[in-house]
Amino acid sequence: MAARHRTWEGTDPRDAAFDRVFSIFDPDDVDTIHGGHRSILILLAVPNDRLEKAVIVHRQRSTDARRDVRVLVAMLKGGDGADPDRARNLRNRLALARRDFGGACDVKIAVYYGTKIPARDHAVEPPSPAMLDRIRHELEHEDGLGGHHWKTALTLDELPTPPHARLHVALVGVDARGRLHDALPRPNVHDLDRWMRRDARRLVAAMMEDPTFKQTITYCDEHGLTLLWLCRSVEPHRSP
């Protein structure tokens, strides 16, 4: 049976008006927080384990409570995440609360679970760096794709330096499970190639600047895909 969590009645006017009751978690219990709900997250400074005296340090809405709490906990531990100013302000507010309490207070995480999010609206995780490294190795040295080995690139700088031999250029998306999506909406390569396949960098840059590339980005964001550029010789050695 799952452990029951302590509860706390929200004191923020936006919560008190609706009698919202929050579940309380320790920062080390992030993995026990449920996902799949439109949630409200509150960081509390709690003196001497007395929830009735708790002070709100931070409040936010979330559609992925576990992920967002991990970010907040990392910021409290000194990390900056993607927003150094936000992280610094968060730590400053906690320091002020501890000063007011004479230093004797703990951090607790209060989570209010709202309505469930339909499965199609869930946040989709992109592939990890380790997964991308594995897929790139497989494309370049092992199974390849479509009977060919391919050079891979995540950025323009990783593409071959021109002038080079004539190359086929392709684009795929990689998901968190390492699956390749090779039917992405994308600009027409042949319409944009003015360099006779001898400048992959300029061709890819032209594709990225094309208005239809926005559809590619939107599709990848919705499906949690990371874009991977592929290139191979027009007359390649076929993979076994």
- Give the CATH number of the domain where residue 117 resides: 3.40.1440
pLDDT band at 182 (very low <50, low <70, confident <90, very high): confident
Q: Which residues contact 103 (CB under 8 A, 6 or more apart)?
A: none
Number of folded domains in the chain?
A: 2
| Residue 147: DSSP 8-state | T
Residues 111 and 134 in one domain: no
Looking up tokens 């031999």, which residue turns up? 165
Tell whether pTM > 0.95.
Answer: no
Where is the domain boundary, 121, 152, 170? 121
Q: Which residues contact 85 (CB under 8 A, 6 or more apart)?
A: none
Residues 88 and 116 in one domain: yes
Q: Cα(106)–Cα(141) distance, rounded to whole angstroms?
A: 52
Range of the domain at 28: 7-121
88-140 pLDDT, tens digit per residue, is: 899 999 999 989 888 778 999 999 998 887 765 556 788 889 999 999 999 99
Where is the domain boundary, 91, 121, 151? 121
Q: Cα(216)–Cα(194) distance, rounded to whole angstroms?
A: 21
Q: Cα(62)–Cα(40) distance, rounded to whole angstroms?
A: 6
